[in-house]
Amino acid sequence: MIIPVILSGGSGTRLWPMSRALYPKQLLPLTGERTMLQETAARAGSIPDSGPLFCVCNEEHRFMVAEQLRQVTDAVGGIILEPVGRNTAPAVAVAALRVRKDYPDATLLIMPADHLIRDVDVFAAAVIRGLRASEEGALVTFGVVPREPETGYGYIRASTGDSGCSFAGDIACVEEFVEKPDRETAARYVESGNYFWNSGMFLFSAARYLEELAEHAPEMLDACTVAVENAAVDLDFLRLEKEAFTACRSDSIDYAVMEKTSRAALVPLDAGWNDVGAWSALWGVEDRDRSGNVIKGDVLVHHVSNSFIHASSRLVAAVGVDDHIVVETPDAVLVASKESVQDVKAIVERLKKEGRREAVNHQRVCRPWGSYETVDESERFLVKRIVVNPGAALSLQKHFHRAEHWVVVKGTAAITIGEKDIVLSEDQSTYIPLGTLHRLANPGKIPLELIEVQTGSYLGEDDIVRYEDKYGRG
């Protein structure tokens, strides 16, 4: 049985300002109506006789990941929560340890959550081709047939016919993993015909991967084993034991295992793959107009060519621009030349260093119960638009530094204030004094929308004490 494992721990910093730490690119609908995570889950379902899928993700993303998966599949076997990011080798290790408990003979199909594959049928056929090699004990990777001398990808050198190494069919042995090359070197790789882009996708049995890890990175396997054995079940999630997983060395599966094993095999893949790692890549995979532009949202252009312009919340006008990226969100605008988009992550690093929320959150922040959006703020007041999903409820909580006014603008609100329970409908309001225990819930069948006005000496999100929470938050 093939068990798909989706790795959803990336942050997608080069796609800022759309992608942010708490809402990264895999959770965004960048290349279609579904998010990239949802597209990956649907792709997993295309594999013949595949079993339930497992997902490894950041615990901060858990409710968004669970909801997005629920919308496209009922075959989720488990969602494993990483307390900290430790790269792909430990992520695959904890998935292998977890899957092996229920499916000892399972073959794992490892897929990053944020890649684009246009031809799903070709991809599924490549997986089936690789299955026989994995059954022979190989650790299979999928090498993308290069279309051009790309310098943004790592490459894999496959064995030639006279190397004396072979697997069934057109599957080659892996001779070498190489880092991202310069353009001249990349051109030589493409011309040679035996270099492939490193897709970051793999196929191998859970037992074989753990055997290789025991040989090449035993301390990593030990840490991951403790983290899984001491993990806690939290609602529909498996929460890894924090101390053990945090102590684990951070390393990629390439460095930890694939470059060291003698049983690495490669299946060529030509299925319209793209890792959508930067805005220029997204420009390359989208439909363009006669001037070579990709236009999204309320955009007006004049003498603009070969550019990607995305407007999220307002009119964006561009004049006399060529080979540029312009991305507008409600709280940030990016303008960059296409050749410099790999450096967007430098802006994100600066935002983080300065403690600015634009690196972490959008103006609209998702929560397991719905979302909120900051409308206006000053030193002693903050105005939010809050949306609560049908049947959802915020935690029973209190604040020590702020009071709140709530005005219902749509739907029905069931509210607890101290010892009192009230129900409000449209155009009705209430007041929650500082330090008062309270809760907000939506008992209706349509989203509840309200305006919240906070006043006080401190308005940070950390001024909250939860007493009860249906989502298991502390």
CATH number at residue 396: 2.60.120.10
DSSP 372-427: EEEEEE-SSEEEEEEEE-TT-BPPEEE-SSEEEEEEEEES-EEEEETTEEEEE-TT
Which residue, 99, 81, 106, 86, is CA-closest to 223? Answer: 86
pLDDT score for 165? 59
Assigned domain for 214 exists? yes
CB 203 within 8 A of CB 107: yes
Same domain (yes/no): 14, 59: yes
Same domain (yes/no): 305, 428: no
CA distance 363 to 17: 11
Same domain (yes/no): 407, 427: yes
CA distance 29 to 31: 6
Assigned domain for 213 exists? yes
Assigned domain for 354 exists? no
What CA–CA distances, in Å, run from 154 to 143, 199, 343, 388, 449?
A: 10, 8, 18, 44, 47
Quote the mean pLDDT of the chain.
94
* Pairing verdict, β 155-158 and 172-178: antiparallel
Same domain (yes/no): 309, 396: no
Same domain (yes/no): 41, 66: yes
Q: Which of 274, 289, 324 is the last residue of a domain?
A: 274
CA distance 322 to 254: 38
Same domain (yes/no): 267, 286: no
H or E stretch at 124 = helix 120-135
Assigned domain for 80 exists? yes
Evaluate the CA torsion angle 256, 259, 264, 266 in order and state its sign: positive
Same domain (yes/no): 245, 294: no
CB 107 within 8 A of CB 131: yes
Same domain (yes/no): 41, 129: yes
pLDDT in tens, 63-87: 999 999 999 999 999 999 999 999 9
Same domain (yes/no): 306, 368: no
CA distance 297 to 121: 31
CA distance 441 to 218: 49
Q: Which of 344, 375, 397 is the last residue of a domain?
A: 344
pLDDT score for 168? 59
Assigned domain for 358 exists? no
Assigned domain for 26 exists? yes
CB atoms within 10 A of CB 77: 16
CB 383 within 8 A of CB 451: yes
| Total domains, the chain | 3
Same domain (yes/no): 181, 60: yes
Q: Which of 274, 309, 328 is the last residue of a domain?
A: 274
CB atoms within 10 A of CB 21: 19
Tens place of pLDDT for every residue, the chain, 474 residues?
A: 999 999 999 888 999 999 999 999 999 999 999 999 999 999 999 999 899 999 999 999 999 999 999 999 999 999 999 999 999 999 999 999 999 999 999 999 999 999 999 999 999 999 999 999 999 999 999 999 999 999 889 999 998 655 455 665 678 899 999 999 999 999 999 999 999 999 999 999 999 999 999 999 999 999 999 999 999 998 889 999 999 999 999 999 999 999 999 999 999 999 999 999 999 999 999 999 999 999 999 999 999 999 999 999 999 999 999 999 999 999 999 999 999 998 999 999 999 999 999 999 998 998 999 999 999 999 999 999 999 999 999 999 999 999 999 999 999 999 999 999 999 999 999 999 999 999 999 999 999 999 999 999 999 888 999 999 988 876
Same domain (yes/no): 145, 269: yes
Assigned domain for 353 exists? no
pLDDT score for 401? 95
Provide the domain limits for residue 328.
Answer: 279-344
CB atoms within 10 A of CB 287: 6
Assigned domain for 357 exists? no
- The token pair at 450 is 């309200």
Q: At 112, phi and psi to the nearest 5?
A: -60, 145
Same domain (yes/no): 206, 147: yes
